Homo-oligomer: A and B are copies of this chain.
Amino acid sequence: MKNFIKLDDLKDFNRTLSLAFEMKKNMNSYSNIGKNKTLGMIFFNPSLRTRLSTQKAANLLGINIMIMNFNNEAWALEFEDGTKMSGIRSEHVKEAAGVISQYCDMVAIRAFATLENKKNDEEEIVLNNFVKYSSIPVINMESATAHPLQAIADAMTITEYNNKQKPKIVLSWAPHPKALPHAVANSFIKMIKNINAEFIITNPDGYDLDPKITKGVKIYSNQVEAFEGADFIYAKNWCSYQDYGKVLRTANEWMINDEKMNYTNNAKFMHCLPIRRNIVASDQVLDNKNSLVLKQSENRVYACQAILKQLIDDQK
């Protein structure tokens, strides 16, 4: 594996999962493989879980870490080619990525969708330019269209709590006051193809995700119908894909609550966090023992360890 930008970069999804579980069993088992290695962590957006779990994973493997919040600690970056850089952007990604490549052995980057321009977001301007101009492996800590580290942690969590041959897993849209990216939902859908499950998506009209990604997946516009008999409910808000970046509705009929969970097969509740309580899901759902949200976040550490180990191994 040269970079970890998307799930497809993995040579073997199941081997990655096994490795992550091995890390979970003994998180200090590879504490020396990072000796004399340095991981750069570059943030263009806020982060709690991703920042701390990546840092923890690197620490556990003995990797040195250098963190930068690009927005306020470094220079504003230019990503377009051939520009006359006379504005506020004082450094080009060509130089920034080149420089970071000389000080680090790997670089992890968080750069959310702007939700202003679908084409730019889908081209993953920030992440792909770092890949293009870096001479070291690049790790996606959530980009415009994907959050693969979250998806691996989610796969671990489903594996741990599933007790069926073929569980029913529902990805449910939920309300949110702000426009949110599609990254988590996209990677969840791609991940689920590696799991033997009956998978459906439920979202209101106008909220269908990128059809290239949801191809072959049933989409219900009736949330309750979708929940029937479900073993896992994965809640997530996203903004409109068709009417790109728009919030089409904020009414809370789609909020996930006990009443709706009652239609399920005593389903586990999942969310990537941060979650707005009593907007996306009710307190009752989140405080219920069936909520796995903290288990998911715990697994972020081991998911990241599994990725870092593979990148180190493949650099040799």
Interface residues in chain A, defined as those with a beta carbon under 8 Å from any beta carbon in chain B? 28, 36, 38, 40, 43, 46-49, 51-53, 55-56, 59, 64, 66, 68-69, 72-75, 78, 82-87, 90-92, 94-96, 98-100, 102-104, 177-178, 273-279, 283, 286-287, 293-294, 297-298, 301
Contacts and interface: CB of A to CB of B under 8 A. Distances in A.
Q: How many identical subunits does the complex contain?
A: 3
| Chain A contact residues: helix, strand, loop or mixed | mixed
Contacts of A66: 52, 55-56
Nearest to A101: B294
Contacts of A287: 94
A122 to B, nearest CB: 25
B102 A294 contact: yes
Contacts of A294: 95, 98-99, 102
Contacts of A53: 103
B36 A278 contact: no
A102 B273 CA distance: 14
A74 B103 contact: no
A56 B100 CA distance: 11
B64 A46 contact: no
